[in-house]
Amino acid sequence: MAAPTTCPICSGRLVLRYPGTTRAPDAEALSPTNHRPGEYGDLYACTACGTIQQPSLPSGPELAALYRQMHDEAYLAEEAGRRRTARRMLDLIDQHAAPGRLLDVGCGPGLLLDEARARGHEVEGVELSVAAAAHARDELGLLVHEVAIEEFDGEEGGYGAIVLADVLEHLADPVAALRRCNELLRPGGLLCVVTPDPSSRMARLAGARWWGFLPAHTFLLPRATLRDVLAAEGFAVSQEVPLVRSFSARYWVAGLAERGGGLGTAIGAIAKAAPRRTTLSLSLGDERIVLGHKRSRRFRPRAVERAEPVAVRES
């Protein structure tokens, strides 16, 4: 394949940032619990907007077919922590949007939807993985559509809130997905995006071994670029905060220790000193929750909050 030269996000010039270390991914490599930092195809950076791109990944239809095959058996082993993370996200969403129709794009097995339903939201999900969608429907009784967001035929202007958590970086065309979300939201409706930030301090320190460089990540938008793209697609950013994730100590050891350097050693020491069932809630400042409203005359953005690394132990 010829080397790409033009950024599909802003039409800027692409340069090779990190040479590839692995072949095209299979369905297993796309799983959320894949801890293989340093394994990816050629990574290109845009000299204008800074977006990191992995153009060797399959095209849209082929990529969607891989996600349909994905079955991540380890995902639900961390259900308690994932639900805690979802509740923190919903706390933010509920500050900006009253309970109403909420759509979770890439909802997985439905944990966030289940938590949102308990708060009074009328919930609905979009998920390509056949196995994950089946769990959401059969085990949790949720309404989930097995379709890509760009092809979802939901009611335009019918949703009060849409969640894109850990999804944007996996898409073949993230701008088209944001555009579709804008069409589906009512005026003033809320969009919640969670995505890694390649311009973060942690990403710069980790270099080629940053966890965000994974076989499944097609586009990684820097913080400023994401805000620009959201504005171009009709959103006004109202709040931006670091994502705090909750996992068991054992999970943090498995994931963070592989990143190498002092980070893995430090996190490993914290986790090993904690009781086995202790949950660690941690932010490294390299993942963002960005909340934006579909533009309307009634809406006025709130001030943006700055990300700082945070670590909390919860039993």
Distance CA 82, CA 77 (A): 9
Tell me the residue type at 114: D
- In this prediction, residue 250 carries a pLDDT of 78
What digits encode the pLDDT tens for the residues 204-231? 999 998 989 988 899 999 999 999 999 9
CB contact at 8 A, 54 and 41: yes
CA 294 → CA 186, 232, 303, distances in Å? 7, 11, 17
Whether residue 308 has pLDDT greater than 50: no
| Domains in the chain with CATH codes | 14-314 (3.40.50.150)
State the residue for tokens 């006025």.
300
Whether residue 190 has pLDDT greater than 70: yes
- In this prediction, residue 36 carries a pLDDT of 66
**Cβ neighbours for 12, distance < 8 A, ≥ 6 positions apart:** 6, 46, 47, 48, 49
CA angle centred on 266, ends 261 and 271, rounded to 5° = 130
CA 61 → CA 52, 218, 268, distances in Å? 21, 14, 40
CA 49 → CA 52, 120, 123, 215, 241, distances in Å? 9, 39, 35, 22, 21
Q: Is 314 exposed, middle or buried (0-12, 13-18, 19+ CB in 10 A)?
A: exposed
Whether residue 147 has pLDDT greater than 80: yes
DSSP readout, 195-206? EE-TTSHHHHHH
- In this prediction, residue 257 carries a pLDDT of 61
Confidence of residue 299 (pLDDT cuts 50, 70, 90): very low
Handedness of CA 248, 253, 254, 256 (dihedral sign): positive
Handedness of CA 291, 293, 298, 303 (dihedral sign): positive
242 closest CA partner among 299, 160, 312: 312
Whether residue 271 has pLDDT greater than 70: no
Distance CA 315, CA 313 (A): 7
Whether residue 69 has pLDDT greater than 70: yes
145 three-class SS = strand
- In this prediction, residue 62 carries a pLDDT of 84
Confidence of residue 23 (pLDDT cuts 50, 70, 90): low
Q: Is 254 exposed, middle or buried (0-12, 13-18, 19+ CB in 10 A)?
A: middle
235 closest CA partner among 225, 227, 243: 227
Distance CA 234, CA 158 (A): 16
CB contact at 8 A, 150 and 168: no
